[in-house]
């Protein structure tokens, strides 16, 4: 196992993503940041905090569970669904930024888009991810990326966050050594 990002690297990446989101949206107005459980939720909270610190205005933040919208439930063990929490005002006409820890095949994001359509109709949907590892199976591309991390399919990328794991790091394990 090797460490590819440490706590300071993660913090820098999230600060940069927050700046990019603000620039893209021309400010915090109309933004809704939705984290995809499990690790996308604390990342969304952190990005929203950075946006608040930068702009001086709060941004609406919530969580969007996509478990029951996945098309690969028969292939992978599922976790118990987490609560979806849409902030007051909903997503109608908003710029929604979906936040996930690792973008891989694109199937989680496809499920998130399906889940969003059941909740409302945002004006724009953007995607922020801490790690983009490639290997897309669907035509999905992130708008905001913390780090592009090309990896083999035999490797596993782990995102560890203090809120859930008690430590901060991004590691790669497996594959050819």
Strand partners of residue 95:
31, 124
- At residue 72, the pLDDT reads 76
| Cβ proximity of 61 and 34 under 8 Å | yes
H or E segment to which residue 127 belongs: strand 124-132
Report whether pLDDT(111) > 80.
yes
> Looking at residue 175, what is its pLDDT?
75
Please report, for the domain that includes residue 31, its CATH number.
3.40.50.2020
The closest of 111, 117, 76 to 96, measured between CA atoms, is 117
Cα 7 to chain centroid, rounded: 17
Does a structural domain hold residue 86? Answer: no
Helices then strands, counting H and E runs in the chain, come out as 4, 8
- Over residues 12-63, the pLDDT tens digits come to 999 999 999 999 999 999 999 999 999 999 999 999 999 999 999 999 999 9
Structure tokens at 25: 């949206």
Q: How does residue 77 score in pLDDT terms, banded at 50, 70 and 90?
A: low
The answer to whether position 155 is within a domain reads yes
Is residue 165 one of the residues assigned to a domain? yes
Instruction: With beta carbons less than 8 A apart as the criterion, state whether 18 and 29 touch.
Output: no
Which two tokens mark 44? Answer: 């969304």
Q: Give me the domain span that covers residue 97.
A: 2-70+91-174
Residue 21 lies in a domain: yes
- Asked if residue 123 belongs to a domain, the reply is yes
Average pLDDT on 130-159 reads: 96
Whether residue 83 lies inside any domain: the answer is no
């Amino acid at each position: 196992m090797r460490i590819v990002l440490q706590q300071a690297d993660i913090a820098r990446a999230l600060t940069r993503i927050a700046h990019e989101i603000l620039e893209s949206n021309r400010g915090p107005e109309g933004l809704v940041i939705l984290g995809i459980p499990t690790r996308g939720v604390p990342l969304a909270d952190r990005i929203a905090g950075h946006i608040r610190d930068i702009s001086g205005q709060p941004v609406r933040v919530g969580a969007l569970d996509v478990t029951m919208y996945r098309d690969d439930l028969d292939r992978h063990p599922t976790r118990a669904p987490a609560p979806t929490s849409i902030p007051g005002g909903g997503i109608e006409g908003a710029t929604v930024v979906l936040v996930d820890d690792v973008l891989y095949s694109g199937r989680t994001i496809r499920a998130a888009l399906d889940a969003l359509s059941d909740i409302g109709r945002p004006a724009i949907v953007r995607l922020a991810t801490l790690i983009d590892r490639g290997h897309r199976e669907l035509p999905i591309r992130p708008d905001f990326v913390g780090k592009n991390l090309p990896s083999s399919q035999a490797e596993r990328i782990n995102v560890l966050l203090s809120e859930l794991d008690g430590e901060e790091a991004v590691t790669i394990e497996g594959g050819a050594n």
